[in-house]
Amino acid sequence: MSDGPRQADIGARLTFDLGKPGRTAFSLPPCDVPEADLPPPSLLRRELNLPELSQVELVRYFLALSRLNYSVDSGFYPLGSCTMKYNPKVHDKLACLPGFTGLHPLQPLATVQGALALMYDLQRWLVEITGLDAASLAPAAGAQGELTGIFMIKAYLADRGEEGRTRVLVPDSAHGTNPATAAMAGFEVVTVASDSQGNTDRQALASALDDGVAALMLTLPNTLGLFDPNIGRIAEMLHRKGALLYGDGANLNALLGRARFGDMGFDIVHLNMHKTFSTPHGGGGPGSGPVVAKGHLAPYLPTPVVGKDGEGFVLATPERSIGRVGSFYGHFGVLVRAYAYLRTLGAEGLRQVSDNAVINANYVLARLRPAYHLPYDRRCMHEVVFSGSRQRAKGVRTLDIAKRLIDYGFHPPTVYFPLIVDEALMIEPTETESKEALDAFCDALLAIDREAEEEPQVVKEAPHSAPIGRLDEATAARRPVLRWRREVGDGS
Amino acid sequence: MPSPSDRRYTKEHEWVRVEDKMGTVGITDYAQDQLGDIVYVDLPSVGTQVKQLEKLGEIESVKAVSDLYSPVSGELVEVNQGVNDRPELVNQSPYEEGWLVRVRLADPAELDNLLTAKQYDELIAQAQET
Amino acid sequence: MTLPYIPNTQADRQAMLAAIGVASVEELFADIPAEFRIGELGLPPALSEPELVRELSALGGRNQPVDDMPCFLGGGAYRHFIPSVVSEVIGRSEFATAYTPYQPEISQGTLQTIFEFQSMVCELTAMDVANAGMYDGASALAEACLMAAAISGRRRIALLSTVHPHHQAVVRTYAFGRGLAVDVMPPDDLALSGEHACLAVQQPNFFGYFLPDVEALERAVHAAGALFIVSADPISLGLFRPPGEYGADVVVGEGQSLGSPLNFGGPYLGLFACRQQYLRQMPGRIVGRTSDAQGRTGYVLTIQTREQHIRRERATSNICTSQQLVALAATVYLAAMGKQGLRQVAELCYHKAHYAAQRIARLPGYSLAFDGLFFKEFVMRCPQPPSEVNRALLERGIVGGLDVSQYVENGLLLCVTEMNTRDEIDRLVEALAAIGGGA
């Protein structure tokens, strides 16, 4: 049996394949009460097929897996509209304080006034930052925040007898969650084109805008990293037609301390704590997606919101609340980190974040534009979108460029999004990257551009130095294997 | 390579080959190439009434979903099980083993609404120029 | 003020502005109309790290964590043993500071652990496929109901009245979006029709009890052509027969008990598993096994065409970011406890809860509100309003149960887990005796 690749085949052995019957990784005290009769066997399970490992094996296994991951703590991670900024370590320490982790959501409110104070202040500061009127911290992620916001709009319109507004407008550059959210709320989705400047095409908007439109969902700056200077006019257009303006706040990092959604005419906005507010991404969560609304929508916020009465902090249900969106109050463990972040930044720090985020992205733009096609030739905000079209003409696709970046030690940017840019490369550096890191990244992309010219194979066959090569995604989808199963025979 | 002349085509890149009022339907070589590795085909059940140029089903590659349109109206009498088990047949043999459904034609005159092989080849030649 | 999280100095910025071709950073914000530019916002002044720690510790100090006292509170969030290896693993920044594994070559850590998680959820629930997790048990239940509606084309959702009230509320919120009706039915008076897409039940239910004849229920649901959805306590599945064995089409549940602290209600974890035939309608991320060109085993996000980033408005759900690190905690928990440990935890809960129930029920003025089989929670009818009882318990340094008097007269929902010692239980009994004795 060959030992080369197989020995490195970590993926072939799961916890189920390790260990031995009888090994344990835990210790529990014996039962200290008289045992009750167990129910009849017909109600009990006959076997439980979980691993049996020693603690040593378990720790080594998971640590070996962790080493296969690239993360923000490993290096530059410029995913567009994800704001992969550094996650301050002090936040981990604070979020793990027993005075926070040990709180049961249903214990008497008098015993959790510190937690409620934290949430109350965070609600207030998100209102201050966004220039709206009231916040709920309940939604579990950006997508759930969107769902909450769109449901609130739906309920608000229904109360006004305007159920006839059955359509939601979404720009062609929108993140997929936007139309998916609108559909989950029972709206028909209509796409509005972007113009040649990358802004919402106001002609297209005007033709799509009639009395059947409930709202326009806009990301600002948009997914091209561009700020639409006509935002005020767009808000006016919508409001004149009785429609509402929903804000996807994913890109708030560009506007912190500089501009507020409320001032620009947004009616309701969701925010992403795991993007703008530095909470860790966790490999795909947990995030947190608070919703902030103008006064006319505030009564529809999900329950509960944190309020104050004479005695202290309380949990309240807004008078026309759309109801609960989760079992309890939101991702408190994530909110603690966001709170700590805002206490660290203060008002002055907000501007530093947006200033540096925008400078960094424009620097990347300046360094890469000689080699990569810039579809929208203007200043970007906190992220920049290039097209790999020049390289494709040489036979090398954005996908290949992304894989080759891995060999240079970087996580690739977002690719093939937004959909309106061909062979898109969407780069968001964030403010927590140094000039040297940006230079190294740009140098790598320029080198890859040269490789595309001179030795395209090395790009097309990348990555060469990752823990594993390109994976067969077609077979994974055609003949899905989605769980471990015990091998029959010796499994060779 | 020119598209097979023994069948008709839609602008959405489906083909139909008719024998005795029985139409065999599939997608063209151009279509399978554009889609990339096909991983799943979602087709209606036998007995369904289909209409010309209305949505017949969906075809999925790893990163995209495309709607399938029926070239003809009629009753769906057979679904290619082989494509269910091995979707790659559509990539490998779009005109033969990768056929998708068989339809009993309601109105053979409908074929006049479709493109000939020559017309279809002109269409894709234009598309490739842009 | 220099923030430790922003590396670039004034000199760095000057150099970059020059490369960009502007004189100042203000020019980069030129697209923002003047009318919208703001001055400084009203946030409290910035704190240094030691000041921050002091502030947050003080805030934490204004709370009374239940870990410091004997606690008998359940109701959807539970205090279970969390082995130290869990925090060790999820504290690795390679797991915590990565994001969605869109580039599988450098995300095998995340992807392989998701595959492990899916496998374990399938084993636990005896179902065919599981996803990578959802926000929490409540939203997992809601999404299961929406899925049933999409599959069946029917417009009504049925829930048993004994499903957790907060979960019912979330189902209602989600149903509002698609204009679906929600019918809540008592277990002994089912009124299922051909309009119902599903019936959802909770095992054990909100009051801690198992359905007496779940097979009959399953038959009734399937006879009506509806999907049978079961929301299960994953710890109970260490002992009791899994819903996959009694005909569930979809199994959901709250995964907080699997290695996550109480955290004042979140982040928690939605478990979601279903039958093979519903795979393509299942929401959420799914990881599949495959290989690279060298034949090495690897894992990738798969069947992504269900999801929002591809299918957009026709997606099975809008879910994107979910609860990956919490799912990892659950995976480590289940790997650490393993075949023997989970069973032991479940048995300890069962024996201790039954011991507590027996002793309390013998006290004058107290009685068990329900007959039947319970696991780790039960409802006591108390001689006084439960709010009074809880207040008196708290004065004695004990966190009591959940006041459920709106459902059961003077009803107190008590929870006993492997974390409650006999001593604590005996103290609870003495305290309840004293309180009940008219003190």
Q: What is the pLDDT of residue A307?
A: 97
Domain closes at, from C332, C353, C368 = C332
CB < 8 Å to C345, chain A: 28
pLDDT tens for each residue of A20-45: 999 999 999 999 999 999 999 999 99
pLDDT bin (cut points 50, 70, 90) of residue A488 is: low
pLDDT tens for each residue of A255-286: 999 999 999 999 999 999 999 999 999 999 99
Least confident window among A173-182, B95-104, C19-28? A173-182
Under an 8 A CB cutoff, do A323 and C291 touch? no
Under an 8 A CB cutoff, do A478 and B39 touch? yes
Other C-beta atoms lying within 10 Å of the C-beta of residue A337: 24
On whether the CB atoms of residues C432 and C360 are closer than 8 A, the answer is yes
Tell me: do C265 and C357 sit in the same domain: no
Tell whether B40 is within 8 A of chain C (Cβ): yes
Tell me: do C126 and C210 sit in the same domain: yes
Q: Kindly report whether the global pTM for this prediction surpasses the value 0.90.
A: yes
Say which of C62, C79, C100 has its CB closest to residue A284.
Answer: C100
Tell whether A330 is within 8 A of chain C (Cβ): yes
Tell me: do C371 and C424 sit in the same domain: yes
Under an 8 A CB cutoff, do A44 and C239 touch? yes
Contacts of C241 (CB under 8 A, 6+ apart): A42, A43, A44, A45, A46
List the end-to-end C-alpha distance of chain A, in Å, as a whole number: 9
| Domain membership flag for residue C36 | no
Q: Which chains border A (3 or more CB–CB pairs < 8 Å)? A: B, C
Tell whether A416 is within 8 A of chain B (Cβ): yes
Tell me: do C102 and C73 sit in the same domain: no
pLDDT bin (cut points 50, 70, 90) of residue A137 is: very high
Tell me: do C281 and C203 sit in the same domain: yes
| Domain membership flag for residue C57 | no
Q: Which chains border B (3 or more CB–CB pairs < 8 Å)? A: A, C
CB < 8 Å to B39, chain A: 474, 477-478
Residue A379 pLDDT > 50: yes
How large is the average pLDDT for residues B71-76?
Answer: 96
Mutate to test the interface with B, among A478, A479, A481, A482 (most CBs of B within 10 A): A478
Under an 8 A CB cutoff, do A478 and B60 touch? no
| Domain membership flag for residue C48 | no
A191 to chain C: closest CA residue: C313
Tell me: do C375 and C319 sit in the same domain: no
Tell me: do C250 and C347 sit in the same domain: no
Say which of C7, C27, C62 has its CB closest to residue A113.
Answer: C62
Residue A6 pLDDT > 90: no
Q: Distance from A326 to chain C by nearest Cα, in Å? A: 6
Tell me: do C359 and C328 sit in the same domain: no
Q: For chain A, positions 361-420, list CB contacts with chain C under 8 A.
A: 362-363, 365-367, 378-379, 381, 402-403, 406, 411-412, 414, 417
Q: What is the pLDDT of residue A491?
A: 40
Tell whether A472 is within 8 A of chain B (Cβ): no
Residue A101 pLDDT > 80: yes
A486 to chain C: closest CA residue: C119
CB < 8 Å to B63, chain C: 304-305, 310
Tell me: do C177 and C317 sit in the same domain: yes
CB < 8 Å to C304, chain B: 62-63
Tell me: do C210 and C230 sit in the same domain: yes
Tell me: do C113 and C234 sit in the same domain: yes
Under an 8 A CB cutoff, do A477 and B88 touch? no
Q: What is the pLDDT of residue A490?
A: 41
What is the three-state SS of chain A? Answer: CCCHHHHCCHHHCCHHHCCCCCCCCCCCCCCCCCCCCCCCHHHECCCCCCCCCCHHHHHHHHHHHHCCECCCCCCCCCECCCCCCCCCHHHHHHHCCHHHHCCCCCCCHHHEHHHHHHHHHHHHHHHHHHCCCEEECCCCCHHHHHHHHHHHHHHHHHHCCCCCCCEEEEECCCCCHHHHHHHHCCCEEEEECECCCCCECHHHHHHHCCCCEEEEEEECCCCCCCCCCCHHHHHHHHHHCCCEEEEEHHHHHHCCCCCCHHHHCCCEEECCCCCCCCCCCCCCCCCCCCEEECCCCHHHCCCCEEEECCCCEEEECCCCCCCCCCCCCCCHHHHHHHHHHHHHHHHHHHHHHHHHHHHHHHHHHHHHCCCCECCCCCCCCCCEEEECHHHHHCCCCHHHHHHHHHHCCCCCCEECCCCCCCCEEEECCCCCCCHHHHHHHHHHHHHHHHHHHHCHHHHHCCCCCCCCCCECHHHHHHCCCCCCCCCCCCCC
Q: What is the pLDDT of residue B22?
A: 95
Under an 8 A CB cutoff, do C310 and B40 touch? no
Helix H or strand E encompassing B18: strand B14-19
Say which of A36, A74, A350 has its CB closest to residue C41.
Answer: A350
On whether the CB atoms of residues C391 and C368 are closer than 8 A, the answer is no
Q: Please state the domain count of chain C.
A: 2
Q: Distance from B127 to chain C by nearest Cα, in Å? A: 24
pLDDT tens for each residue of A302-343: 999 999 998 899 999 999 999 999 999 999 999 999 999 999
Under an 8 A CB cutoff, do A474 and B39 touch? yes
Tell whether A225 is within 8 A of chain C (Cβ): no
CA C199 and chain centroid, separation = 20
Q: Distance from A453 to chain C by nearest Cα, in Å? A: 24
Q: For chain C, positions 199-238, list CB contacts with chain A under 8 A.
A: 210, 237-238
Q: What is the CATH number of the domain that holds C415?
A: 3.90.1150.10
Domains and CATH numbers, chain A: 10-66 (no CATH), 91-344 (3.40.640.10), 350-475 (3.90.1150.10)
CB < 8 Å to B60, chain C: 305
Domain closes at, from C278, C297, C332 = C332
Q: For chain C, positions 28-47, list CB contacts with chain A under 8 A.
A: 28-33, 35-38, 40-47
Tell whether B40 is within 8 A of chain A (Cβ): yes
Domain closes at, from C332, C363, C397 = C332
Q: Distance from C189 to chain A by nearest Cα, in Å? A: 23
CA separation for the pair A54, A50 (Å, rounded): 13
Residue A1 pLDDT > 70: no
The per-residue pLDDT of chain A, averaged, comes to 95
The token pair that represents C117 in the structure block:
């998680």
Single-letter residue type at C17? L
| Domain membership flag for residue C9 | no
| Domain membership flag for residue C223 | yes
According to DSSP H, which parts of C278-323 are helical? Answer: 308-311
DSSP code for C247:
T
Tell whether B94 is within 8 A of chain A (Cβ): no
User: Chain B to chain C, count of Cβ pairs less than 8 Å apart?
Assistant: 17
Domain limits for position C116: 85-332
B39 to chain C: closest CA residue: C303
Q: Which residues of chain C have pLDDT under 50?
A: 439
Under an 8 A CB cutoff, do C351 and A44 touch? no
| Domain membership flag for residue C2 | no
Q: Distance from B37 to chain A by nearest Cα, in Å? A: 6
Under an 8 A CB cutoff, do C266 and A331 touch? yes
Under an 8 A CB cutoff, do B64 and C304 touch? no
Say which of B40, B62, B65 has its CB closest to residue C311.
Answer: B65
Residue A114 pLDDT > 90: yes
Q: What is the pLDDT of residue C95?
A: 96
Q: Distance from A373 to chain B by nearest Cα, in Å? A: 18
Tell whether C24 is within 8 A of chain A (Cβ): no
How large is the average pLDDT for residues B19-35?
Answer: 94
| Domain membership flag for residue C273 | yes
CA separation for the pair B84, B80 (Å, rounded): 7
Q: What is the CATH number of the domain that holds C158?
A: 3.40.640.10
| Nearest alpha carbon to residue A101 among A114, A86, A88, A89 | A114
* Gyration radius from chain C CA atoms: 25
pLDDT bin (cut points 50, 70, 90) of residue A353 is: very high
pLDDT tens for each residue of A48-63: 999 999 999 999 999 9
Under an 8 A CB cutoff, do A482 and C302 touch? yes
Under an 8 A CB cutoff, do B39 and A416 touch? no
Tell whether B36 is within 8 A of chain C (Cβ): no
CA separation for the pair A57, A31 (Å, rounded): 27
| Domain membership flag for residue C20 | no
Under an 8 A CB cutoff, do A483 and C129 touch? yes
CB < 8 Å to B64, chain C: 305, 310
CB < 8 Å to B42, chain C: 280
Tell me: do C325 and C397 sit in the same domain: no
